[in-house]
Structures are given as C-alpha cells and as structure tokens.
Amino acid sequence: GAVVSQHPSRVICKSGTSVKIECRSLDFQATTMFWYRQFPKKSLMLMATSNEGSKATYEQGVEKDKFLINHASLTLSTLTVTSAHPEDSSFYICSAPKEGRSYYGYTFGSGTRLTVV
Amino acid sequence: AQSVTQLDSHVSVSEGTPVLLRCNYSSSYSPSLFWYVQHPNKGLQLLLKYTSAATLVKGINGFEAEFKKSETSFHLTKPSAHMSDAAEYFCVVSEEGGGNKLTFGTGTQLKVEL
C-alpha cells in the first residue's frame, strides 16, 4: 500500500520548452507532497512542499516561476519545469508521508530523469 | 532545526564481511530516523525506520540500525555483505514538529568486493 506513481521516468527536451512531471498517489490521499532534486553524485535536496488546495512552499534558492507546483487534488501533484535549460537537467523525485504523518514513513516516486539538450 | 551527517562518503568491504555505515543527527524534537538505499538508476527504497519504539531496528535484507540518543547516532549495520548490497545509502531525519520534512544526509557509496 501507499504507492506513489511518478511519470515520466525519463524525459529529454529541448532548451526553452517546458516539462511536466506528475506524481500520483494510488491508494491513499496525499495531502502533502515533497519534491526533491538530486544533482549528480549529490544528496537529495528538498525543492518545495506542496499541499492540496494551497500554494506550495519553496525552499530558499528555488525559483517559484521556474518550478511550478500544482496540487489540485488529494491524489495528484505536478511539477512543471518551465523554459528548461541544460542546468535543469537532474533527477527529480517526489515523496509523500504515509497517512499524513512521518511516523508511518514516506513513500517515494520512482523518479524522473530530466535531460535538457 | 534538524540535520544529519553521514561520516563516510565511500565505504568498501569484502563480500561476507560486516558493513557499518555511520550516521549522526541533530534534532530539536523527537526525531524519526530512516535509512534509504538507492541502486543505480532506481528510486529510493526504505531499509528501516526508527520512530520512538525499540531502539534496535531491524530492516530488510539483513540490515539493522541502533538509535543511540546519548551519541545522537543511528548507524546502519549488516553482519555479512553481499554483492547486491552495493549502492548509495542515505540516512534521513524527520521531526514531527518540523512539518514532516525530510532532511537527507549526503549519502554513503557502499562498494562490495569479491
């Protein structure tokens, strides 16, 4: 149980275009979704926290207009990388607390490898 | 504020020998602590978690970790390494009072040699 489905797993896009990444909770309601980015050979860095029905909270240094997050329903959160550039190439992963509390652990999407050419 | 420090960026062991991956944390609240493993080109997989119950936590694939509050440590161990254990391991802390945010360590690359 508590599965998060993330799509696409890999995407290659041209510089200047936008890419949307979806994370969908399949068997539970994800009122909160965390979006992470992993740079090569680095740890995961929290980008933003999305809450259903409200604006996302972005971490310091993350551009809100570049990384648009929408959490319109209890089962779907999306991250859109707008006007992508090669430096946006990275591994993006979403995560949601099971049952809404960290006590029960977290479930992660399988990640999206974005390559901007 | 919470933070986590993984003391070794790389650990190399021989197959069949013990594994020790070190992690120290700091937390303003009672923390939950996790170890995740990431194999190449794969998503994260939870190995085990500590959430204020038993201090010795047993996880999957023979891994276990002991929560030591006095030492603020949560080291990951396994009695006998297998080739399939080669991966990146992340120690993670979460505070109930911190909005459920996860803070990741920088990761430890485990190499298992024949």
- Count of CB atoms situated within 10 Å of the CB of A26: 12
C-alpha distance from B111 to closest chain A C-alpha (Å) = 15
Tell me if A102 and B32 make a contact (CB, 8 A cut-off): yes
Q: pLDDT at position B46, please?
A: 85
Query: B109: which 2 tokens?
Result: 């690359």
Q: Identify from A37, A38, A42, A44 which residue to disrupt to test chain B contact, counting B C-beta atoms within 10 A and taking the largest count.
A: A44
Q: pLDDT at position B79, please?
A: 97
Q: Does A103 touch chain B (CB under 8 A)?
A: yes
Q: pLDDT tens digits, residue range A4-44?
A: 899 998 999 999 999 999 999 988 888 889 899 987 666 67
User: What chain A residue is nearest to B94 in terms of C-alpha separation?
Assistant: A102
d(CA B55, CA B69): 9
Q: Which of A6, A34, A113 has its CB closest to that of B102?
A: A34
Tell me if A44 and B90 make a contact (CB, 8 A cut-off): yes
Q: pLDDT at position A7, please?
A: 95
Q: Which residue has the higher pLDDT, B31 or A101?
A: B31
Q: pLDDT tens digits, residue range A57-116?
A: 998 999 999 999 999 888 999 999 999 999 999 989 998 877 655 556 678 888 898 999
The single residue listed with the structure tokens 């030492």 is: B71
| pLDDT band, residue B93 (cuts 50/70/90) | confident
Q: Which residues, including other chains, have CB under 8 Å from residue B53's CB and lie 6 or more apart? A: none
Q: Which residue has the higher pLDDT, A58 or A1?
A: A58
List the end-to-end C-alpha distance of chain A, in Å, as a whole number: 37
DSSP state of A6: E
B20 pLDDT more than 60:
yes
d(CA B47, CA B78): 12
Tell me if A109 and B43 make a contact (CB, 8 A cut-off): yes
B102 pLDDT more than 80:
no
d(CA B34, CA A96): 14
Question: Rounded to the nearest 10 degrees, how much is the dihedral formed by the CA atoms of A60, A64, A68, A70?
Answer: 70
Q: pLDDT tens digits, residue range B37-81?
A: 977 756 678 899 888 778 999 999 999 999 999 999 999 999 999
Residues 76-95 of A with CB under 8 A from B: 93, 95
Tell me if A102 and B94 make a contact (CB, 8 A cut-off): yes
